[in-house]
């Protein structure tokens, strides 16, 4: 071999790995106890899960059971992969050469990526992850890079971070961002958290704030008195939540059980499943819908603060993402303590079915509700699947004179309380549930699981 050829070969062998390294692949249930709502008669086909779901970076792959659609440019880092089963991501997301951070989030170095303990929940239209960004210990990353946390200082974001295309949060994490100092743990009875840059607030520490663009809370008007931030992986906090069980209302198809609700990565996931369950109350030939079906064909969860937490007046909030496909009927609502329905009253701060995002107030009328206090916004008018692939903030502000219902800080419906309604002087408790069928429509053509994701539920009252 000639010397010149030998020299060329040696140079090629030395430079080839460097070139590959530089340019290689980078990778509620509306609650309507009896089914008499005026807007529940016609059940057109439900919304289908569209594109713009959980985002996926180049080189990554995502398999989602339940019809979740992967968008472009997403949350999975270079070389990583995520497989979703039952609404939760197994094993989290691993970046090239990344290291694992413990729960609470120590900052990985430049180029590293974070693997959340027990994995993270996959939601349609999920959050955007930057490369190598840092998060303050105990804090969540708020819009604009900072997050107040009831005394916790959030970490600042290093320069140069990029948000993945199509993600929801839009917050970017730079390489090697610095970590803020650790503050005191959140106490649910503490003062309301203050707003960070861009008006972001955060009372928890289990992941990024999903409703990052919400309006800041006026601390002179509202004080946080209770919340569940869903920061502890596993089952929902039993000190806050109990469960409805079996067939409950509205001739719905699901069998309610606690097992379909899990907490992971700072999110509560209620995952309705196509699952056959024996009905122990079955009676052949019965005309009672709770007894004449030998099996339930679907399961889901209805969580309630009944006999645990109830509140008289205040601002009630839920930050969540709802599944708008056929058969899905998620809700966030309240019922009055110690009274049977409809004398208890009912406020559906949010419910969705039949392509309508609804806000309802029951006016008790004899043995039923007058639902003239109802507003429905069509899914298409809000943005269709693009809208449903994101998290949204539902809120109610309630005092002795009025009830105002909001969606993403916009007033949807205002109701003036009269002396003939149950909304004065009586505390109400909270329900968060995902029903299947009935007003939600026929789910037989829908791919399961159907999911309802919740970042937090909060209650504020006047200081």
243-276 per-position pLDDT tens digit:
999 999 999 999 999 999 999 999 999 999 999 9
How high does pLDDT run on average in the chain? Answer: 70
pLDDT tens-digit map of 151-188 = 333 333 333 333 333 333 333 333 333 333 333 333 33
- Where do we find the tokens 């100092």? 181
Q: What is the pLDDT of residue 278?
A: 98
DSSP 40-95: GS--PPPPPP-SS-SEE-TT--EEETTSPPPEES-SBPTT--EEEETTEESS----
CB count in 10 Å sphere of residue 411: 12
The sign one gets for the Cα dihedral 195, 199, 315, 127 is negative
pLDDT digits (tens, 9 = 90+) for 87-129: 333 333 333 333 333 333 333 333 333 333 333 333 333 333 3
Residue 399, number of CB atoms within 10 A of its CB = 16
| Percent of the chain as helix, strand, coil, to the nearest 5 | 10, 30, 60
Q: For residue 307, what pLDDT band results from cuts at 50, 70 and 90?
A: very high
With CA atoms as reference, report the closest residue to 316 among 429, 168, 412: 429
- Pair 326, 445: CB distance under 8 Å: yes
Distance CA 461, CA 463 (A): 6
The reported pLDDT for the residue numbered 206 is 64
Q: Is 20 helix (H, G, I), strand (E, B) or coil?
A: helix
Comparison of pLDDT for 307 and 46, the residue scoring more: 307
Look at residue 6 and give its three-state secondary structure. Answer: helix
CB-CB neighbours of 448 under 10 Å: 22
For the chain, domains (ranges, CATH) are 231-461 (2.60.120.200)
**pLDDT level of residue 344 (50, 70, 90 thresholds):** very high
The alpha helices in 74-231, defined as continuous H runs, are none
- Tally of CB atoms within 10 A around 362: 29
Query: Whole-prediction pTM value?
Result: 0.60
């Amino acid at each position: 071999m000639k010397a010149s050829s030998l020299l060329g070969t040696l140079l090629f062998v030395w430079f080839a790995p460097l070139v590959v390294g530089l340019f290689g692949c980078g990778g509620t249930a509306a609650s309507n106890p009896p089914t008499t709502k005026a807007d529940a008669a016609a059940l057109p086909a439900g919304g289908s899960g569209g594109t713009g779901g959980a985002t996926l970076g180049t080189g990554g792959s995502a398999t989602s059971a339940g019809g979740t659609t992967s968008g472009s440019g997403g949350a999975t880092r270079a070389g990583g992969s995520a497989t979703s089963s039952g609404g939760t991501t197994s094993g989290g997301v691993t970046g090239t050469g990344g290291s694992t951070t413990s729960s609470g989030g120590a900052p990985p170095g430049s180029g590293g990526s974070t693997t959340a303990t027990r994995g993270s929940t996959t939601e349609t239209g999920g959050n955007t992850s930057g490369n190598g960004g840092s998060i303050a210990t105990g804090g969540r990353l708020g819009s604009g890079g900072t997050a107040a946390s009831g005394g916790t200082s959030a970490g600042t974001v290093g320069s140069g971070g990029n948000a993945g295309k199509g993600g929801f949060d839009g917050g970017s994490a730079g390489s090697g961002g610095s970590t803020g100092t650790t503050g005191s743990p959140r106490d649910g009875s503490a003062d309301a958290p203050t707003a960070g840059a861009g008006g972001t607030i955060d009372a928890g520490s289990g992941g990024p704030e999903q409703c990052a663009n919400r309006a800041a809370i006026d601390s002179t008007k509202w004080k946080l008195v209770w919340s569940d931030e869903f920061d502890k992986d596993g089952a929902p906090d039993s000190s806050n939540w109990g469960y409805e069980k079996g067939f409950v209302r509205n001739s719905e198809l699901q069998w309610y059980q606690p097992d379909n609700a899990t907490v992971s990565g700072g999110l509560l996931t209620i995952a309705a499943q196509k699952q056959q369950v024996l009905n122990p109350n079955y009676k052949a030939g019965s005309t009672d819908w709770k007894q004449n079906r030998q099996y339930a064909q679907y399961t889901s969860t209805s969580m309630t603060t009944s006999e645990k937490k109830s509140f008289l007046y205040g601002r009630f909030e839920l930050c969540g993402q709802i599944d708008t496909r056929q058969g899905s009927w998620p809700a966030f609502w309240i019922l009055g303590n110690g009274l049977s329905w409809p004398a208890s009253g009912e406020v559906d701060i949010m419910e969705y079915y039949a392509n309508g995002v609804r806000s309802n107030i029951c006016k008790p009328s004899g043995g039923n509700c007058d639902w003239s206090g109802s507003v429905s916004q069509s899914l298409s008018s809000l943005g269709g699947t693009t809208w449903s692939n994101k998290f949204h903030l539902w809120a109610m502000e309630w005092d002795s004179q009025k009830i105002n219902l909001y969606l993403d800080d916009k007033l949807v419906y205002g109701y003036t309380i009269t002396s003939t309604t149950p909304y004065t002087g009586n505390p109400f408790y909270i329900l968060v549930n995902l029903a299947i069928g009935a007003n939600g429509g026929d789910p037989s053509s829908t791919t399961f699981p159907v999911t309802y994701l919740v970042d937090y539920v909060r209650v504020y009252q006047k200081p």
